[in-house]
Amino acid sequence: MSRRLNPLPQLVADRLARIQENVDRSIWVRRERLAVEGSPVTDEMLDVRQAASLLYTPVTAGEHFGAPHGDWSHRWFRVAIPAAREGERGRRFLRWKCQGETTAFIDGVPWAGLDPGHPTCPLPDTAAVLYLDTATWQTGIWTPEPPEAIGPYGLRFDFAELRIRDAAALGPEVGPRRAPAAR
């Protein structure tokens, strides 16, 4: 595009960020923070059965964990998801804001991958307990901009949120597919 059509190209990124924020606000009709519990950081790769037997303690927003600047360890998190309320079926999503790369499990089965470039996943309509295996590294090769670097205090957990999508905001042909039923 020529400068005549766009005299201030340096402002495009800020404008797009504002548009994205407005779209994000219109997509979600309800947001509810979820209580999260975390295990100690472990150097071993554990399966979900082993992870379920770990000691879990409440996690607070802004809590740091893992080695400075990351390493090749894991921390497991546990989140209880309530059953869908009236009118929410097929519209529920988890928003996970935590540095690192995470695999969410429901009923012992891998459910979704979460990371700074892919922070949401659909949720079943039934009540469920999610186990989230968060790796203490962050490659971020798929994001348009590099994610915030893991700092000198390790990775940071910010929050987990249950979000309810406005079914009319994007239309069925654009929005995410409905989550399969948990087993």
132 within some domain: yes
**What are 138's two structure tokens?**
């962050």
What's the pLDDT score for residue 6? Answer: 64
The pLDDT value given to residue 18: 83
Residue 79 within a domain: yes
Strands 36-38 and 57-58: antiparallel
pLDDT in the model for residue 14: 77
Q: Tell me the pTM.
A: 0.82
Calculate the CA 13 to chain-centre distance: 23
126 assigned to some structural domain: yes
- Tens of pLDDT, residues 32-45: 999 999 999 999 99
34-51 in b/e burial notation, b at 16+ Cβ within 10 A? Answer: bebebbebbeeebebeeb
The predicted structure's pLDDT at residue 24: 78
CATH of the domain at 98: 2.60.120.260
In a domain, 21, yes or no: no
- 101 in a structural domain: yes
Number of domains forming the structure of the chain: 1
Whether residue 20 lies inside any domain: the answer is no
Low-confidence ranges of the chain (pLDDT < 70): 1-10, 140-146, 170-183
| Paired strand residues for 126 | none
How confident is the model at residue 173, as a pLDDT?
A: 52
- The answer as to whether 179 is a domain residue is no
- Domain span at residue 44? 32-167
For residue range 151-162, list pLDDT tens digits in order: 999 999 999 999
Give the pair of three-digit tokens for residue 64. 């740091």
Residue 152, domain member (yes or no) = yes
Residue with tokens 């390790």: 154
CB 48 within 8 A of CB 105: yes
Which pLDDT does position 114 carry in this prediction?
95
